[in-house]
Amino acid sequence: MSQYSRAYPRYSAVLASKQRSIPTFKGVDDVCSSADVFGCDTFNYHEMSKTLPDSDVKLLKEYAVMGGEISLELANRVALAVKQWATAKGATHYTHWFQPQTESTAEKHDAFLNVDVGMKAIEKFTGELLVRQEPDASSFPSGGRRATFEARGYTVWDASSFMFLASTENGKTLTIPSLFISYSGEALDTKTPLLRSIRCLNQEAVKALSLMEDETSYVTVNCGPEQEFFVIDAALYNLRPDLVLAGKTVLGAPPQKGQQLDDHYFGPINARVINMMMEVEHELMRLGVPIKTRHNEVAPSQFEMAPVYEEANIAADHNRLLMAVLRKVAQKHNLAVLFHEKPFAELNGSGKHLNWSLSKDDGTNLLQPGDKPQENIRFLYFLAAAVKAVHDNGDLLRVSVAVPGNDFRMGSNEAPPAVMSVFLGETLSKVVSNLKAGKRMSSEGSSSDTIDLDIAKIPVIDKDNTDRNRTSPFAFTGNKFEFRALGSSQSISIPITYLNAAITQSLCDMNTYLEAKLAGGASRDQAVLDTVVKAFVDSQAVCFDGDSYDVEWEKEASKRGLSNLRTTPEALEVLTHDNVVDLFVRLGIMSHKQEIMARYNVFMERYVKLRLIELEVAQELLLTQVYPAALSYQQSWASSLSAVAGVLGRPPSAQKKEFEGYVSSVDALSSAMQELGGVIAKVYKLGDGKEAAEYIASEALEALDRARALADKLETVVEDGLWALPRYRELLFSL
Ligand code: ADP
Ligand code: MG
């Protein structure tokens, strides 16, 4: 075979991707309506009611909002009922499904099948098996909290999230959402701290309402995450080891056409992709995940799906399911989904906007300005608490989104910067500044942008007005906050947990202040407004309605004393700060400092390991793909030149000059590769902690950038038939 066979797999993959047929899915024709299908594979309250007494269903409903204990008797009855339901639908196995501190979920399946003494098969599932399992946990990250010899961690049923049937072509598994805890009771997962944060925020919010004489039995945290991702053809994906192993391209020259024409955003969705999405939605519908929106995103081959918002713990489980089902169904459609925050250089990366709000037991949204004065006072109280949270604990919000892939987005011109600020919009900002100025509006005043301190009049807040600024990391959007700094690959549990913690603390401070005012004899409305004003005045520095992408904002933010933690290793240090440790421990979200330090270690190690994969994949691709292609081209060019020189008696001058330039580029690549080798060796020497992480963030990535720039330049010069790696234009425009 000639050397040009190098590009054959690439050409064939491009052709294959154009010739794919679109798989259909079972059930597509007999779907009556979404309502019939919704949740049909979940053991929801409706299913429970068919076999469990009403009193049991009531207990489970109460547990879902208040937490508490589930008795073994109740667990036994639920186990029996769910076994009957699941096996009748074809399930053969069950598994606890949990969320260790990795990017994916974990499960270990057990058959219902047991054999009795007479060798007769029986199906067994008890309350004990439902409530608690002991997987061998030695290989999950624990940040040094468990030595391998004491590997016993256990998983505990989370009765607040419905069990569901995970289906494959050949069978079904009863899947039980679970917590993952060490033998000594420390949280080893992302769900346990999330649940704790929801409970403590509930407590403080209920207390705030009761101080305002607005009773509710509980307050719910609601979240709606907007998931962004790229979709590319599977054959092309498989020819890119960097995508397969690191989730992102570490090399690749940007195509002449990227996103500059703005022709992808909200355009018609590609046929292969929309058909895949439809199957994803159908499968998620069965699992009770209410997917609501789908659309093209800014970059070519980039998309977004979002559910109807749900209670935070359920939203977090469902986002994990969305990601898992997308991955699985995409494979069936010969597609690959990329959740990495920055799979392609010079194109927009992917994030995950987290919409967040609080509601009362009757569903009233606490971040919704209302018609009645009391409702507006309440609204201002919770609004102020959120602003104060970003002010007092901005660093905590920053570290909640510190995942390695996000470093390539945060602060560049497409994603909110690493400075945490709040956008309130023109109308609300005016309301707040009037409040701070103590402006009273007399009863004859009807101007819509001022507030009457006596009756707390708030003008209607136009959604368009609040939604115009897309550059703020934390924006008020009419009746909720949108935390926009999340990375697309991350579990939303950690950002919600940290945000809940920060808001609980604000509410706690405000409640204390309010209680003191009330004790001092102030009228309730005046005391509440005083508390609100104080919170806004104290948090002034963090409010910013301008363009957060503007470099001027960075300077201004620094003057205002706001921190700007650009890289993951820098941001992770926040977890070691005394105020953060105190906050987590005081609120009971973590048990003690060591538990937080364990997380710090896990995140730091993860940063180093992921970056090492990127560095090493790049090194190998340069060595085995780019460099050999460059040398082959050099050789054929050299032979051609010398042949021509033999005929003419002298080399053709322009070609010779160009060739010399080319040779020096290849030479520069060779040096850069050696440099990269040295950098990787140094990372290994530094270990997998802070020192290595800092070295990577400051120097190693720069060495990679230098090598990449040379390789990407060569990609645009070397003869196409010698180039084996699918190019950006093929990855992004072949569907
Ligand atoms: P955008 O216009 O910002 O792209 P989308 O419609 O894509 O908005 O997504 C908005 C998300 O916000 C959805 O998941 C939606 O359910 C969620 N959302 C709406 N209202 C609330 C609320 N009160 N609390 C939390 N999330 C909400
Ligand atoms: Mg959206």
**Amino acid identity of 485?**
A
The atom of ligand 1 lying closest to the CA of 306 is: 14
- Residue 669's Cβ-side half-sphere holds a number of Cα atoms within 13 Å equal to 28
Pocket mutation for ligand 1, best pick of 198, 219, 223, 226 (most atoms within 8 Å of C-beta): 226
Does pLDDT of 444 surpass 50? no
**Residue 220, ligand 1, Cβ within 6 A:** no
Dist CA 720 CA 688 (whole Å): 39
Q: Do the Cβ atoms of 531 and 551 come closer than 8 Å? A: no
Dist CA 376 CA 378 (whole Å): 5
Residues facing 57 on adjacent strands: none
**Residue 480, ligand 1, Cβ within 6 A:** yes
Q: Once rounded to an integer, what is the mean pLDDT over residues 65-70? A: 88
Q: Give the three-class secondary structure for 107.
A: strand
* 91-98 and 171-182 strand pairing: parallel
642 Cβ neighbours under 8 A, 6+ residues apart:
651
**Residue 512, ligand 1, Cβ within 6 A:** no
The atom of ligand 1 lying closest to the CA of 224 is: 14
pLDDT in tens, 482-519: 999 999 999 999 999 999 999 999 999 999 999 999 99
Nearest to 725 by CA among 584, 594, 617, 595: 617
Nearest to 95 by CA among 105, 85, 104: 105
42 DSSP assignment: B
Burial of 33 (0-12, 13-18, 19+ CB in 10 A): exposed
Q: What is the pLDDT of residue 264?
A: 77
pLDDT in tens, 572-622: 999 999 999 999 999 999 989 998 999 999 999 999 999 999 999 999 999
12 DSSP assignment: H
Burial of 683 (0-12, 13-18, 19+ CB in 10 A): buried
Does pLDDT of 439 surpass 70? no
Q: Which ligand is closest in space to the CA of residue 291?
A: 1
Which residue's CA is minimally distant from atom 2 of ligand 1?
Answer: 467
* Average pLDDT of the chain to the nearest whole number: 90
Does pLDDT of 296 surpass 50? yes
Which residue's CA is minimally distant from atom 13 of ligand 1?
Answer: 224
Dist CA 702 CA 696 (whole Å): 8
Nearest to 264 by CA among 293, 233, 296, 226: 296
Q: Do the Cβ atoms of 720 and 257 come closer than 8 Å? A: no
- Torsional sign, CA 126, 129, 130, 132: positive
The structure's pTM equals 0.94
Token output for 414: 């497409």
How far is ligand 1, taken at its centre, from the CA of residue 434, in Å? 29
Rama region for 438: left / alpha / beta (φ>0; ψ in -120 to 50; rest): left
**Amino acid identity of 114?**
N
Residue keyed to tokens 């997380």: 599
What phi and psi, each to the nearest 5 degrees, are found at residue 386?
-70, -45
Q: How far does CA 147 lie from the centroid of its chain? A: 29
185 DSSP assignment: S
Does pLDDT of 312 surpass 90? yes
How far is ligand 1, taken at its centre, from the CA of residue 499, in Å? 17
Does an H or E element contain 638, and which?
helix 627-648
Does pLDDT of 629 surpass 50? yes
pLDDT-wise least confident of 302-316, 345-359, 437-451, 505-519: 437-451
Q: What is the pLDDT of residue 399?
A: 97
pLDDT-wise least confident of 352-356, 392-396, 398-402, 413-417: 413-417
**Residue 307, ligand 1, Cβ within 6 A:** yes
**Residue 66, ligand 1, Cβ within 6 A:** no
How far is ligand 2, taken at its centre, from the CA of residue 157, in Å? 33
